Amino acid sequence: MMRGALPRFRVFHMRIRDLLQPKAVDLNPSVKNKEQAINRLVDLISQTGCICDRERFRQAVFDRESKGSTGLGDGVAIPHAKSAGVAYPGLAAMVVKDGIDFDSLDGGKAYLFFIIASPHKASDAHLDVLARLSSMLIEKEFRESLIKASDAQEFLSLIDRAEGQERSEEAQEKESAPKPGHYDLVAVTACPAGLSHTYMAAEALELKAKEMGLAIKVEADGAAGNRNELLPEDIAQAKAVVVAADRTVRMDRFIGKPLIRVGVNDAIRKPEELISKALSPDCQPYSLISGSETVSLPMTLYRHLMSGLTYIMPLVAAAGILSACAALPFMQGTKVSFFFDTIGYSIGIMLFPVLSAFIAFSIGGRTALVAGFTGGIMADLSSAGVLGAVVNGLAGGAVAYLTTLFARRFLKGHDAMFALLVYPVVGTLGVTLIAEFVTNLPMAFLDSHINAFISSAGVLPRAILGGLLGMMMSADMGGPLNKISYACGVLLLADSMPEPGAGNQVMASVMAGGMAPPVSAGLAALTVRPLFSLREKKLALTAVSKGLLFVTEGVMPYMLIAPRGARVACFMGSGLAGALSMAAGCGVCAPHGGILIVPLSSQFFDYLAALGAGTLLGAVLFVIGRLGTRIPQSSAPQA
């Protein structure tokens, strides 16, 4: 079977055998589940001498696994980690003839295992080796031959033989490779770690493209950097682009090209479908504003809002914490209190302009910054609040975008000078007129009534509002409802700055709703241990600590067994915590931090009581949801 070329990120100075020793290969291990498999692989690789701190590396591997399974499907699993416990790069391999459940992407068993040990400063040479190994494992015949190997020497010989074939094919393919700028399709692959997934996705796309008779160039943006960079002429001549990435990659170079964007695992599992979609006449050209997707107007506006929210969160945290510290009783009347209060106030009054500026930036790029900044100032001067800042930011982005279109069409050759002189003036005047005569008055009306309702409402309406926001935080774990709830908390908190107000109370209920689920799950796993798997019990303290720090995703490992009961536990616990917090008028001063900022809460003990009640209810419901549930053998508790 001929293989696709990876012309720039394959370097053959180091062999796979340089990292994989015979004593690090076990073809008959006594392992029954995922935890045992990882432990055996760590012990194997430790025998090679590349590990200087075995337990530190072992913990790093389990930590990586908790973020997402390294079971790649097709019977292959490649656990890996970078760790200070690794002295130099190494490999170990293992074959489990009957297979085990490894939470693989395709839901099947894993038979063939490799573990990768990388020091924090990994060399390019060993990453090339790992990329080559990942590429070779794409072929079914090669995987099956490794699984059937009778001893370690045969196992290594098969790898040597396949690697030798890679070399000869590489030389042949270099001669017949398309010239730069003559590819049917270009692609980018990137995973968070930049190791095996990046290169397996690249190889899968290349193999499938070759089978389909297409010329393709894949940029593998891995841990060693960009090893096969797409040149401008490659992109210009290509018919379409595939971006398979789980992290940020440079997208502006693809403007105007038909493009689809997916996760890196999609390229590994369904490369033919991605290639067909990219080359389809229905594939839309990419632009900075709309991306490659056809999305609704509300979703587009929501994305621009979240862009602005990202930039003001550190400012909200700094202003809130400094102002809260200045208000502490023992700080009153001191120079430190005056300094904190002055800095907190100064940062707080900048929140609206910064929010508007970066909403506008999300729409129109750098040329929209001045227009957006002006919109925030207008909202502040007119008491239009955070709603005015948001709407004026959208208006500023629209004004700048339309001005840019005009300049590109009618002022070719002069648009650079236009950007320096005219964009700021046109944007400022345009947004000022829109804010003064269209947006500020209705937004000021809405903003004042929202704050008045929250501040003056009775206990029951406040409890309902807090409970609703808390339940939204755990309704879809990072989905739209979760993000909307959190966005409401951050925006209203910014609206209250620099003085405490209704927004502090809303943010407190949102934070309580996000903290309760992982603390509940961890507490239940610590107290009623027989109902939880070995992995869940190991992660219990981690879940509690993540929850206390307002990292709601700490509950995710507990959602796999009895998911319906787990969802009810999260939903009810979050709702109770949010409702009690809001009913008691508790407030927090920052949009993140969890237990670290709770001591600065205006009702410290009431807030702890609300969080404790929600956590206790969630823990009880977690236990009830597990009663009568069979714990999977692959993760069953060990005596």
For 70-83, the pLDDT digits (tens) are 887 888 888 888 88
Q: Is residue 12 predicted with pLDDT exceeding 50? A: no
pLDDT digits (tens, 9 = 90+) for 329-360: 888 888 888 898 889 888 888 899 999 999 99
Do residues 134 and 199 make contact, with C-beta atoms less than 8 angstroms apart?
yes
Burial class (CB in 10 A: 0-12, 13-18, 19+), 354: buried
Residue (of 410, 356, 5) closest to 178 by Cα position: 5
> 3-state DSSP call for residue 215?
coil
DSSP string of 558-597, one letter each residue: GGSSSHHHHHHHHHHHHHHHHHHHHHTT---SSSS-GGGT
Distances from the Cα of 437 to the Cα of 353, 398, 441, 450, angstroms? 19, 17, 8, 22
- Alpha-carbon gap, residue 382 to 212, rounded angstroms: 61
Q: What percentage of the chain reaches a pLDDT higher than 70?
A: 84
- 3 falls in which pLDDT band (50, 70, 90)? very low
Q: What strands, in cross-sheet order, belong to the sheet with 240-245?
A: 225-226, 216-222, 185-190, 240-245, 259-262
Do residues 578 and 471 make contact, with C-beta atoms less than 8 angstroms apart?
yes
Confidence at residue 184, expressed as pLDDT on a 0 to 100 scale: 84
Confidence at residue 298, expressed as pLDDT on a 0 to 100 scale: 75
Comparing 467 with 160, which gets the higher pLDDT?
Answer: 467
Confidence at residue 388, expressed as pLDDT on a 0 to 100 scale: 93
- 631 DSSP 8-state letter: P
Whole-number CA gyration radius for the chain: 28
Mean pLDDT of 447-476: 90
pLDDT digits (tens, 9 = 90+) for 475-522: 876 556 877 888 899 899 988 876 778 889 999 999 999 999 999 999
Q: What percentage of the chain reaches a pLDDT higher than 90?
A: 28
Confidence at residue 39, expressed as pLDDT on a 0 to 100 scale: 92
- 420 falls in which pLDDT band (50, 70, 90)? confident
Active site residue 283: no
pLDDT digits (tens, 9 = 90+) for 161-180: 887 765 555 545 544 444 44
Confidence at residue 602, expressed as pLDDT on a 0 to 100 scale: 73
Confidence at residue 614, expressed as pLDDT on a 0 to 100 scale: 96
- Alpha-carbon gap, residue 363 to 375, rounded angstroms: 14
Find the catalytic residue in 50, 191, 283, 586: 191
Mean pLDDT of 389-408: 88
Q: Is residue 68 predicted with pLDDT exceeding 80? A: no
Do residues 555 and 513 make contact, with C-beta atoms less than 8 angstroms apart?
no
Do residues 317 and 592 make contact, with C-beta atoms less than 8 angstroms apart?
yes
Q: Mark out the alpha helices in 177-231 (DSSP H runs).
A: 196-211
Mean pLDDT of 272-295: 73
Distances from the Cα of 547 to the Cα of 348, 489, 550, 594, angstroms? 28, 18, 5, 8
Comparing 430 with 310, which gets the higher pLDDT?
Answer: 430
Q: Is residue 224 predicted with pLDDT exceeding 70? A: no
Confidence at residue 239, expressed as pLDDT on a 0 to 100 scale: 86
Please list the residues that pair with 90 across neighbouring strands.
117
- Backbone φ and ψ for 632, nearest 5 degrees, come out as -55, 140
Distances from the Cα of 359 to the Cα of 229, 284, 392, 394, 637, angstroms? 31, 24, 9, 6, 50
Burial class (CB in 10 A: 0-12, 13-18, 19+), 212: middle
Mean pLDDT of 428-448: 93
Q: How many CB atoms lie within 10 A of CB 516?
A: 35
Do residues 14 and 144 make contact, with C-beta atoms less than 8 angstroms apart?
no
- 68 DSSP 8-state letter: S
308-312, 503-507, 594-598: least confident range: 308-312
This prediction has a pTM of 0.58
Confidence at residue 613, expressed as pLDDT on a 0 to 100 scale: 96
Confidence at residue 5, expressed as pLDDT on a 0 to 100 scale: 34
Comparing 365 with 623, which gets the higher pLDDT?
Answer: 623
Mean pLDDT of 303-328: 84
119-133, 157-171, 252-266, 329-343: least confident range: 119-133
Average per-residue pLDDT in the chain? Answer: 82
Q: Is residue 194 predicted with pLDDT exceeding 60? A: no
Confidence at residue 290, expressed as pLDDT on a 0 to 100 scale: 46
Please compute, for residue 504, the number of CA atoms within 13 A of its CA located in the half-sphere on the CB side: 26
Mean pLDDT of 139-152: 88
The full set of domains in the chain, from first to last, is: 16-122+136-175 (3.40.930.10), 185-279 (3.40.50.2300), 297-417 (no CATH), 459-635 (no CATH)
- Alpha-carbon gap, residue 103 to 535, rounded angstroms: 12
Burial class (CB in 10 A: 0-12, 13-18, 19+), 447: buried
Confidence at residue 222, expressed as pLDDT on a 0 to 100 scale: 66
- Alpha-carbon gap, residue 432 to 252, rounded angstroms: 30
Confidence at residue 159, expressed as pLDDT on a 0 to 100 scale: 86
Cβ neighbours of residue 166 under 8 Å, at least 6 residues apart?
Answer: 3, 10, 132, 135, 136
- 191 falls in which pLDDT band (50, 70, 90)? low
- Alpha-carbon gap, residue 633 to 99, rounded angstroms: 13
Distances from the Cα of 612 to the Cα of 478, 513, 573, 601, angstroms? 23, 11, 10, 15
Q: Is residue 611 predicted with pLDDT exceeding 90? A: yes
- Alpha-carbon gap, residue 396 to 406, rounded angstroms: 15
73-82, 318-327, 395-404, 410-419: least confident range: 410-419
- 242 DSSP 8-state letter: E
Mean pLDDT of 205-220: 87
- Both tokens assigned to 512: 């309580």
